[in-house]
């Protein structure tokens, strides 16, 4: 699974917000109110997601992204319209892997993160293993890498940081 590289920094739009705030403060009464940063909620969600995403990237667990599925869903839900389809694609791939893992270990007493596709526990069918492998391939595909690249670029452009804060 691809990592989420990046470098930390402050929001690039911070200067713009200060300037806009000052303009609002000195505006004459009766003028329309100045709008706030349209990306503030998204950037706040990104900021809150950085630690769990960094931990997932640093993890040796093959299910690390499954473990942060809720975080990825929050990012998708907060994302600007221009990248919502990319977030949906990524979340869909992680959800598909999660579903395949859950189905494969159902009734075996094995946790999804403990499934070894090369040495599966008794009760895991070949069809289940094939589904897990297919879901993992889709998550590691060039389409998923492209979607990740798009959302990472958006985070850098509008929030001035990376998904992992590194």
Residue 137 lies in a domain: yes
pLDDT of 114 above 70: yes
State the angle between helix axes of 69-78 and 40-58 in degrees (0 to 180), rounded to the nearest 10.
160
Q: What's the pLDDT at 11?
A: 40
Question: Residue holding tokens 């270990």?
Answer: 105
Nearest to 104 by CA among 80, 120, 83, 88: 120
Count of residues making up the chain: 166
Residue 69 lies in a domain: yes
Nearest to 165 by CA among 47, 31, 12, 29: 47
Number of domains in the chain: 1
Q: To the nearest whole percent, how much of the chain has pLDDT over 90?
A: 75
Residue 3 lies in a domain: no
Segment 154-166 shows an average pLDDT of 95
Residue 35 lies in a domain: yes
Residue 47 lies in a domain: yes
* CA distances for 148 relative to 14, 53, 93, 159, angstroms: 25, 13, 11, 16
Interval 26-44: pLDDT, tens: 332 333 334 478 899 999 9
- CA dist., res. 150 & res. 89, Å (int): 11
pLDDT of 111 above 60: yes
Residue 19 lies in a domain: yes
Segment 18-26 shows an average pLDDT of 32
Domain containing residue 146: 14-159
Interval 75-109: pLDDT, tens: 999 999 999 999 999 999 999 999 999 999 999 99
Q: What DSSP line would sit under 139-158, residue for residue?
A: HTSHHHHHHHHHHHHHHHHH
């Amino acid at each position: 699974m691809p990592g989420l590289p990046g470098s930390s920094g402050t929001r690039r739009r911070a200067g713009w917000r200060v300037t806009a705030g000052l303009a609002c403060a000195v505006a004459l009464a009766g003028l329309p109110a100045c709008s706030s940063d349209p990306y503030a909620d998204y950037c706040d969600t990104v900021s809150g997601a950085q630690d769990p995403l960094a931990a997932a990237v640093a993890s040796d667990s093959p299910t690390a992204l499954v473990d942060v599925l809720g975080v990825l869903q929050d990012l998708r839900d907060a994302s600007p319209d221009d990248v919502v389809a990319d977030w949906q694609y990524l979340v869909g791939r992680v959800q598909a892997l999660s579903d395949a893992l859950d189905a494969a270990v159902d009734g075996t007493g094995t946790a999804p993160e403990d499934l070894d596709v090369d040495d599966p526990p008794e009760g895991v069918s070949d069809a289940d293993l094939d589904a897990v492998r297919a879901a993992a391939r889709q998550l590691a595909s060039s389409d998923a890498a492209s979607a990740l690249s798009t959302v990472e670029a958006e985070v850098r452009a509008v929030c001035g940081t990376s998904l992992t804060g590194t």
